[in-house]
Structure 1
């Protein structure tokens, strides 16, 4: 029953997909990695999200792997010949995305546009995330934005200054967004994405729960 409802919703969303984009038609990927404690304070606590529970200890987590275009646009909810993932398949991705529901949402909104099957999309997301070294940021209530950028660059030899952006909301660290070719090699971000970089000199860093 859930699959039937999901399929009906997906069909409706395809009708309103921007530009009627087809799966596999895009220029590069954005790997979005969220600082979960900031999301918890902003939204997750109100949702009683498990990743925000005391003792969860979640810092960085995958928000998604997003098809992106060089002009700063991106496809969403694309038509695809591939089957939707099962509940078991999405639940198995909770360690990567934070929850099975988040894994389903990322497939439905972005994974369809990759041109891949759901299992292959999830596997590619894991491959994109695995080599990225991220600072733990524990016991660090504030950090200079430039210091964080330099720390990330020093820990990831393949990254360049123009291949990632840091975003913030309400003065708090929000996300690290990495720009990757379709074979997951770092590349320059498009100008519109680069313009979304945080302009704060310092960032609040809420601690993991």
Structure 2
């Protein structure tokens, strides 16, 4: 065999090995189990997110939901969502036998808490499906969670623009809710706006510490609470 033929044979053998390796890799990939979807009902605790509605409306501007931001009288603190959580991370968009769409009669019963049909539907699809509850049971739990947390009166009724210390907002919520530990609440901001107060609740809706949520608290000295107007 000439040198050229030997070199050609080596190249052919190498190509064959590469093809074999690629085939084995594809076969292994096909045999590997798909990534497990988040399982409904598999979570450790809830986060109740209370949004300062004027901050949402100011931040989103023309893109804000008009059902929420066009309301008169204007909303103050509203429920953004009730989110099932793991100690680290959270499940979302879990498989559910319930429909994606929340029926209008059920939506109307909860507009006092979550002031737009779009918000209610989104929260159900992304978070409610992961609770393992029906639509009605999930939204009933949202109401129970909201009733578990008292709003500080001087903040809930704020009709003027205020620069507030996020730590003072947290302290006001803790004063209004005896037994609420510092590690169970986080005040969040976006830019200069105070956006949300997030309270961690056990599956029985008792207050519980949540270090991962607490670490995401606002670090600004001052944040703006736009007025309810």
TM-score range, shorter chain: 0.7 to 0.9
110 and 155 in structure 1: CA distance in 2 versus 1, 3 angstrom threshold: same
Cα distance in 1 for partners of 2:97, 2:71 equals 41
2:208 maps to 1:187: yes
Deviation at 1:140, TM superposition (A): 4.6
Shift of 1:92: 2.7
Deviations 1:135-191 (A, max 9, x none): 323325211122212111111102111111000001111000011100100000132
Name the SS for the 1:94 alignment partner. Answer: coil
What RMSD in Å do the two structures reach over aligned CA positions? 1.7
Distance between the aligned counterparts of 1:92 and 1:143, measured in 2?
Answer: 33
Decide which of 166, 172, 176 is 1:155's aligned counterpart. 176
CA shift, 1:83, in A, is 4.2
What SS does structure 2 have at the residue aligned with 1:179? strand
**Aligned twin of 2:103:** 86
* Partner SS for 1:62: strand
Q: Which has the larger radius of gyration?
A: 2
- Residue 173 of structure 1, aligned match among 167, 175, 194: 194
Rate the CA distance shift 1:131–1:45 in 2: closer, same or farther, 3 A: farther
Task: Structure 1: give runs of 5+ residues left out of the alignment.
Answer: 1-17
More relative contact order, 1 or 2 (CA 8 Å, 6+ apart): 1
How far apart are 1:112 and its partner, in Å? 0.3
Question: Displacement, 1:19?
Answer: 4.3
Query: After the TM superposition, which of the residue ranges 74-83 and 86-95 deviates more from structure 2?
Result: 86-95
What residue ranges of structure 2 are gaps of 5+ in the alignment? 1-34
TM-score normalised by structure 2 residue count: 0.78
- The TM-score with structure 1 as length reference comes to 0.85
Change (3 A) 1:160 1:89: same
Distance 1:56 1:91, change over 3 A: same
